Structure 1
Amino acid sequence: MSTNPLLQDWAGPHGLPPFADIAAAHFQPAFDLALAEHRAEIDAIAGQADAPSFANTLAAFDASGRRLTRLEHLFYTLAASATSPELQAVQRAMAAPLADHGSAVYMHQGLFGRVEALFEQRDQLGLTAEQRRLLERVHLDFLRAGARLAPAARERYAAIMARLAELNTRFAQNVLASESGYQLRLTTAAELVGLPDFVRAAARQAAIDRGLEEGVHVITLSRSLIVPFLSFSARRDLREQAWRAWVGRGDDTGDTDNREICREILELRAEQARLHGHACYADYALEDTMARSQAAVMGLLERVWHPALAAQAREREAVLGAMAAAGVTHELQAWDWRFYAEQAKRARFELDEAEVKPYFSLDRMVAAMFDCASRLFGLQFKARPDLVGYHADVRAYEVLDADGSLRGLFLQDNFARPTKRSGAWMNAMRNQSRALGATPIILNNNNFARGAAGEPTLLSFDDVRTLFHEFGHGLHGLLSSVEHERLAGTQVLRDFVELPSQLYEHWMAEPQVLKKFARHWQTDEPLPDALLAKLQAARQFGQGYETLRYTASALVDMAAHALPAAPADVVAFERETLSRWGLPAEVGLNHRLTHFQHLFSSAGYAAGYYVYLWAEVLDCDAFDAFVEAGNVFDAAVAARLRECIYSAGNSREPGEAFRAFRGRDPVVEPMLKDRGLLPA
């Protein structure tokens, strides 16, 4: 038997990999074997003498490649969450071969012929609704991967996909190197002026994590550290340094320069779209979405853009007022906004984040998100500290249904570190499938700034929202109840996938949740009513600024992918696009193109960053169903939500799923109201 742990049975609890035994060198030989096995399985399915049937073709295809799927889930988890130079080298080496394999599978003419024959007979096959959905989705997967192209076009298409995989990998590794390589060291009392205790504690812990000497504090490019620094540091020169490093990731002349990589990715995507007969990549990408067209996307973005501009102009007056009150006369710049907006909020609402944050310890907020899932869906969460993850930060929980049956395993990895990519995300280490007898293993990653030794990690209100958001994705994976893996969990249309996550955010701000779980970490005092009232009053302050930052990023994404060919200079294109839309200079973008991982680490959100706003229309309208019931934990509404949205995966068309839950199509007004963008 092989000594490679990746090629042995994973006999640990819940089938978890033997993380401690795995080395980067184990992956390439394991992939070589798994790829060969899968190719043989595909050839066998395609070459069988029996006429195609759902069982011998669709179900067999869905069940194929088990070793490869298991390896890929593990490999990409480690590459994102606990990477190393050795693992990155394997990632670069395997990018093209894995892409080539995907092309070979979905361009396999024998297999595609069987799938197409079933698709053409779909009305006569007596399929269940889920079986028909699987057939339709798999058939479309083949078409979108180029199965119907002429032989020469298929060859070129496969080459494009292999090159894109290499570029996506380089892009992501460059962003990680840029982020992990940056440290703003604060070594004197003068450099710490204005920073509350919680920011100082997190900055000191970041220095300790990097092995730096006593007395040094470090600001990294982790959002949970740099945003508080920009909000509280009285040192304008240091704010500017940090801000420029944050927005400049990938836009440089060194080893982490992503400008040419972005340009080449856009060029290859435009060619990919042309091979499919589309004028631009946006048209190709949107063909398989709820939106369907650029016009629908732009209609939504424009509906939000102009009210957000007006709201930000009002917020700007408050920010300028705070600057005047402080006696400063310099021009308002992007690195000033958060600092003076925080002062304006403090003056207007008598609300200080340093006063709020002690009530939001990470452990209590995790308990809150579990409690909401228990009240809504009857789930129970059993801590399993004995289960060993890929890093000491990983916490494991068995998830049980109300009847005590096992629903799945939930892993949570909450802290920022140099070996972990930025942002927050959910991924499945194993998808649910009744046909395969598979319960899900779901992982949430966050990048919170760790609290000082012996003290809890304290979260901002925005951090708590992120925690609940990712757990909403997690519930989408955990509650999945489908027969076939291809339809499980979050494998839905991109502009539907953010509905379960964003919807779950609503419960984190509910007064009854906050009163129970938001307790001062030192005194155990519950969040005072007066402070809760201030939080609610200030909830929409800054929404103009935040809405513009998000929407501007979505507009740049759509503009770049609507081109028939890549721009010669992506930075100049970005600047010209923002100028055309009139984005105020002090606002900026959530993500500039050169570090926009949603777009360039994979194609997942390419021409698709709009989806958060699209799903927000759905989630605000969906939450109103609970409001209308008079109880945000109404049992009947929650049962319908679980059945129609969280458990259905991709087993039903998303518009149909929403109508089954809500009784009608979504309306946009609840979203505009929630953001404070309805006309007065």
Structure 2
Amino acid sequence: MIKSPCRLSTPLLRHAFHSYTTYTPRGLLAVAATATAGPKQPRFSSTTGHERSLEDITLRQIFDAHDFWLQFSQQHTSDLARPSRGLFQNRYLTEPSGFLKYAQVTRQKCQQIVERVLSAASIEAYAGIPRQLDLLSDSLCRVLDIADFVRCTHPDTGYQAAAIQAYAFLFDYMNVLNTTPGLNAQLRKAISIHEASGSWNEEEKMVAQILLRDFSNSAIDLPAEKRQNFVQLSNQMKTLGNEFLDSMTPTTSYLDFDIKQLKGMDPLALARMSKGGKRVRLPTVGGVPYAALGTVEDEAIRREIYIAGRQSSKDQIKLLERLMVTRAEIANLSGHESYAHMNLSDKLAKSPEAVNSFLTALSGDNAPRVMQELAIMKEMKVADGISTGIEQWDLVYYRNRLNVDQKPKSRKPDFMSAYFSLGTVMQGLSRLFDRLYGIRLVPRGTSPGETWNSDVRRLDVLHETDGHVAVLYCDLFERAGKNPNPTHFTLRCSRLISSSETNEGSNSPQDANDGMAVSSSTSSNQHYQLPILALICDFSHPPNSRIPALLGFQDVKTLFHEMGHAIHSILGRTSLQVVSGTRCPTDFAELPSVLMEFFASDPSVLALFARHWETGAPLPYEMVEDSLLTQRRGQGIQTETQILFSLLDQAYHSSLPLKMKGGFDSTKAFFDVYDKYSSVREPRATNAQGFFGHLVEYGGTYYSYLFDRAIAAKVWKEVFRDGKGDGGVEREAGERYKEEVLKWGGGRSGWACVSAVLGEERLKDGGKEAMEEVGKWGVHS
């Protein structure tokens, strides 16, 4: 599951990509013209081989050995008398009350920038407008991204409340900016003055285009009354979306069964739920009902469980329908045919027609697999003495049966997790990044107050020639009240710190950045604010201090996925933050993270780190092959499900909500899509759209994950040679991918990136035909 970039009601706030797997950049000091880190360049000179070896060992131990972590962390926090340096070393965030002060100071800085833009009159002033607007966006995002993170992650309710207050304070200011046509007018004038816009580099041109388009989508050209209506509708959309996400519960929370009716389920699980009795209360959401659908032998019981888990309340459906109507009204007010047309205007797809071309082509590629899988399931059902066709409640059950019936290649018990201690996986990621890109993860101590929990590890990201290029905070263990979804947060993006900023009352680049980390280019006197990232997971603590946290193979893929977003933020180090790191189109942002999942199962990559935590024995690759084979069974049906929801997302964000006779009926629209495209009938008793939370975040771009899966598979095959001949750890392939994709962020057309890295010139300009071509590639893994 992907949490997409947050876009509020102003073009000046473009939040960094958040993802959770299920999601959301420019090269190392690219604008400062640093040397490309090629395979034969020298290592970062300040670190010896012995020191690098110690760093590598320490990286594993701080995650695997609890006593070592305590000793390591206490070395840096033992002096309790030292004052707090503030969260992320931000000097304002030494206590909760500092959040509002931080927001207030930021607003004052922003107002000064706005005044400079509005008063621009000379060629020089107009030439500087893209950078001024980028600084305005960065100033706002520095508060809002951290506040958003703290609101949902910090365990202290005082900090949470303060973050919410600061966020709301600046959100109100967003509405003020959104009704300031002068900013849009000055940007347009700057573009029209050749002497000004002719001096812009590629990043500045892209930022100007992005902001101009976003201003247009924010109805900035409308009369004041309609602009105010736009703001009200935008606020209403945000409120409805939050209410919808908070209300995703079925009408029936539990189902009561006689324990005999659940024959096939794990007896121990049944015993726990029945508490020794004969009746079982089965929840209708979560892992338990999913396990029941995969194991209960009685088809009628599976049907009851399936339907109960996909029945939303009438109020929830009304919330969804009001949200879709509100979005359609916003689009119409902005001069667009539909919300999908509006939201796709800056994506690779560009239009709903192109999205449908992609999905149609992808469906055609996927159809033979679906038919084959259903035929196998049908044979199994007939063998069970049941002559009816395959139904939705049969899919998980017969897929599980198929996996049980197939004999694995490996005769060894599947103890894969013993080869994947958390520390060795983090060690493996660092080694992989070192081989591909010349960067490594180095443990660092933290200052008092720098992190939000004692479990949080800080890793500095070091490049072999450019030194310190990012800070990564790892909050990877479960705890009460913590959001369990794996997520990558960009708390602050890369950006060149101009000399004028340090001349305006700031004594140093750190002062200009609220005390947070900056770096110096090794090839110039320029300073960059470092990307500050946070990686959130929910891995279980080991049962005792002698055993490290052991990850299942899916957990490993999840960690690789999230680190794919992180490496995008790290290597996408631009001079302007609007196009930095993962601040790129939604349908391009998942490419690096999905591609990383291929690395997670590659034998040459696993050979870097996958070894038994106790014996040191290397992982037998047959175990991985068995796991991959299991995952691929039923993949056609799973892909079809994602295609169906992508089509539903398009239908809901089309002009339909305002044109349907008798008012928008989301259930009718749901079955119109399923009846036309689904290979397996959906029972009429359901209204599963009430649980489709991605509608809120994606808004017409849910196809993005499928789209990026298709591209990632192609890149893995063409650039990294499917891992053959150690292609998965080859520096030349890594450099090609970094130079053509990762380093650009949103500063280059995504189609140009894809075209260049694959050598497919015909894809360079994108369009409907290019979308269709990607659909034909399929999402085979």
* Distance across 2 between alignment mates of 1:348 and 1:88: 50
How do 1:161-240 residues align onto structure 2 when only pairs under 5 Å count? Answer: 161-175=234-248, 178=249, 195=266, 231=294
**Cα pair 2:493 2:581 within 8 Å, conserved:** yes
The match for 1:405 is 467
Which of the residues 411, 426, 429 maps onto 2:488? 426
* Distance across 2 between alignment mates of 1:552 and 1:632: 33
Give the Å deviation of 1:294.
Answer: 1.7
The match for 2:414 is 355
Which of the residues 641, 644, 650 maps onto 1:558? 650
The match for 1:4 is none
The match for 2:340 is 282
TM-align CA RMSD: 4.4
**Cα pair 1:498 1:611 within 8 Å, conserved:** yes
Q: Cα gap change, 1:452/1:268 in structure 2, threshold over 3 Å: closer, same or farther? A: farther
**Cα pair 1:369 1:508 within 8 Å, conserved:** no
Which of the residues 694, 706, 721 maps onto 1:627? 721
Counterpart code for 1:252: S
Give the Å deviation of 1:484.
Answer: 0.9
Q: Cα gap change, 1:101/1:10 in structure 2, threshold over 3 Å: closer, same or farther? A: farther
Counterpart code for 1:72: L
State yes or no: 1:60 paired with 2:151.
no
How do 1:295-310 residues align onto structure 2 when only pairs under 5 Å count? Answer: 295-310=353-368
How do 1:260-409 residues align onto structure 2 when only pairs under 5 Å count? Answer: 260-322=318-380, 334-350=392-408, 355=414, 357-359=416-418, 361=420, 363=422, 364-384=424-444, 386=446, 389-392=451-454, 394-403=456-465, 405-409=467-471
* Distance across 2 between alignment mates of 1:54 and 1:183: 63
Counterpart code for 2:635: Q
The match for 1:132 is 205
**Cα pair 1:258 1:594 within 8 Å, conserved:** yes
* Distance across 2 between alignment mates of 1:270 and 1:136: 24
3-state SS of the aligned residue for 1:434?
strand
State yes or no: 1:15 paired with 2:77.
no
The match for 1:610 is 703
Q: Cα gap change, 1:586/1:543 in structure 2, threshold over 3 Å: closer, same or farther? A: farther
The match for 2:534 is 443
The match for 1:651 is 747
Which of the residues 252, 272, 289 maps onto 2:313? 252
Give the Å deviation of 1:266.
Answer: 1.0
The match for 1:599 is 695
Q: Cα gap change, 1:44/1:521 in structure 2, threshold over 3 Å: closer, same or farther? A: same
TM-score normalised per structure 2: 0.70
**Cα pair 1:621 1:671 within 8 Å, conserved:** no
**Cα pair 2:409 2:622 within 8 Å, conserved:** no
* Distance across 2 between alignment mates of 1:90 and 1:229: 43
**Cα pair 1:549 1:587 within 8 Å, conserved:** no
Q: Cα gap change, 1:332/1:580 in structure 2, threshold over 3 Å: closer, same or farther? A: closer
Give the Å deviation of 1:438.
Answer: 0.7
The match for 1:492 is 584
Q: Cα gap change, 1:384/1:307 in structure 2, threshold over 3 Å: closer, same or farther? A: same
Give the Å deviation of 1:22.
Answer: 4.7
The match for 1:5 is none
The match for 1:158 is 231
Higher relative contact order (CA 8 A, sep 6+): 2
Counterpart code for 1:408: A
Cα distance per residue 1:587-625 (max 9 Å; x no partner) = 99xx9532333321x4xx211011122222322222212
* Distance across 1 between alignment mates of 2:595 and 2:415: 24
Cα distance per residue 1:94-121 (max 9 Å; x no partner) = 8876555334324422222211111112
* Distance across 2 between alignment mates of 1:554 and 1:460: 29
How do 1:514-553 residues align onto structure 2 when only pairs under 5 Å count? Answer: 514-520=606-612, 524-538=616-630, 540-553=632-645
Q: Cα gap change, 1:334/1:562 in structure 2, threshold over 3 Å: closer, same or farther? A: same
**Cα pair 1:431 1:477 within 8 Å, conserved:** yes
Counterpart code for 1:621: K
**Cα pair 1:92 1:169 within 8 Å, conserved:** no
**Cα pair 1:222 1:422 within 8 Å, conserved:** no
Counterpart code for 2:689: L
Q: Cα gap change, 1:581/1:97 in structure 2, threshold over 3 Å: closer, same or farther? A: farther
**Cα pair 1:318 1:341 within 8 Å, conserved:** no
* Distance across 2 between alignment mates of 1:556 and 1:401: 44
* Distance across 1 between alignment mates of 2:308 and 2:754: 42
* Distance across 2 between alignment mates of 1:626 and 1:575: 41
Moved more, 457-466 or 414-423: 414-423
**Cα pair 1:434 1:483 within 8 Å, conserved:** yes
Cα distance per residue 1:514-569 (max 9 Å; x no partner) = 34544455665433244344345555322112101211111110011113435633
Give the Å deviation of 1:483.
Answer: 0.7
Q: Cα gap change, 1:122/1:503 in structure 2, threshold over 3 Å: closer, same or farther? A: farther
Cα distance per residue 1:142-183 (max 9 Å; x no partner) = 2222222232221211211122222233333344xx59x989
3-state SS of the aligned residue for 1:429?
strand
Gap runs ≥5 in structure 1: 1-8, 205-215
Which of the residues 467, 471, 477 maps onto 2:559? 467
**Cα pair 1:399 1:407 within 8 Å, conserved:** yes
* Distance across 2 between alignment mates of 1:370 and 1:447: 21
Q: Cα gap change, 1:404/1:140 in structure 2, threshold over 3 Å: closer, same or farther? A: closer
Which of the residues 219, 228, 238 maps onto 1:146? 219
**Cα pair 1:428 1:442 within 8 Å, conserved:** yes
* Distance across 2 between alignment mates of 1:377 and 1:238: 53
Cα distance per residue 1:368-408 (max 9 Å; x no partner) = 33332222111111134646533455433111112371111
How do 1:21-60 residues align onto structure 2 when only pairs under 5 Å count? Answer: 22-23=95-96, 31=103, 34-35=106-107, 37-47=109-119, 50=122, 53-54=125-126, 56-60=128-132
Give the Å deviation of 1:659.
Answer: 2.8
**Cα pair 1:34 1:65 within 8 Å, conserved:** no
3-state SS of the aligned residue for 1:526?
coil
* Distance across 2 between alignment mates of 1:96 and 1:596: 27
* Distance across 1 between alignment mates of 2:564 and 2:105: 36
